[in-house]
Amino acid sequence: MIRTMRPVIVAANWKMNTTPADAGELARTIASRTRVAGVERVICPPFVCLAAVRDALMDAREEVAVGAQDVHHEVAGAFTGDISAAMLDGLASWVIVGHSERRRDHAETDERVAGKLARAIEAGLRPILCIGEQLAVREAGSDAAAAVVVDQLWGAVMPNDADALIAAGLVIAYEPVWAIGTGKNARGADAAAMASAIRNGLRAIDWGDRAENVPVLYGGSVTAANIAEFLAEPSIDGALVGGASLKPDEMAGIVARAGVTGDARRSESPIA
């Protein structure tokens, strides 16, 4: 059986930054600076900027996807201030679910994240599922960290249909919470070990060989200076970029290095 070559993906998470007045121009600038063959690019602006970013990228004829930063776990209802999957129709084709900041600031449980994942795939949105451990867990050792991450993975994935997740193009972002905005950095070997644990976790719930085809991104204070270490690992398929994704120079460097990974993968023979 021939394994499908996993795509190389760079997703920009702008978090609570930009406004509709400036988001479109920033998106155009980043898109024009990151035209690299073999890299899938996604920009995830705040909800209020989705239309501006979509329109700017369409007007510039840039092949960059637009993603939302979150989605509600219910189809509709009395949820003031929240956004349903149906509301994203025509605005976004990707969505982030389970980001550590949502888990921390909004007390999102694995059960809640599983519901968001379900709504995303029902609506035809390609999900980026975020999972990662806190510093205290990491300090307890790599086995403890892997156990927590796999528990988060199972909590989100197992309530959903595996075939539907695969058809939706599930992407998993490993984001060590202790490395986000703290100045602490994970190493490439740490991310690679966790990517292996994630795919083994999927195999353990009967995904079999399909687990090998799930892209795993690294997210945790990604910059142009450190991305090479992560993309040098064959098990890492790109990055979920936070603060650096607001800086065109940083994004240009990150995507350029991702292109090197894509070139290397295309030059390799398929794995039997």
Q: Is 148 buried (19+), middle (13-18) or exposed (0-12) by CB count in 10 A?
A: middle
User: Where do the H-state alpha helices sit in the chain?
Assistant: 23-33, 50-59, 100-105, 110-122, 135-139, 142-157, 162-168, 188-204, 227-231, 248-267
Number of neighbours of residue 238 by Cβ within 10 angstroms: 31
Catalytic residue IDs = 99, 175
Mean pLDDT rounded to a whole number for the chain: 94
Distance CA 7, CA 9 (A): 6
- Label residue 4 by pLDDT band (50, 70, 90): low
Distance CA 198, CA 173 (A): 10
- Label residue 272 by pLDDT band (50, 70, 90): very low
Classified as helix, coil or strand, 122 is helix
* CB-based contact 181:226 (threshold 8 Å): no
User: Model pTM?
Assistant: 0.95
142 against 50, higher pLDDT: 50
Q: What would the pLDDT profile of 5-56 be if each residue is shown by its tens digit?
A: 899 999 999 999 999 999 999 999 999 999 999 999 999 999 999 999 999 9
* CB-based contact 41:78 (threshold 8 Å): no
Residue 3: its pLDDT value, please?
A: 47
* CATH architecture, range 9-14+40-74+82-258: Alpha-Beta Barrel (3.20)
**Domain boundaries along the sequence of the chain:** 9-14+40-74+82-258
Measured over the CA atoms of residue 183, residue 189, residue 190 and residue 192, the dihedral's sign is positive
Distance CA 100, CA 98 (A): 6
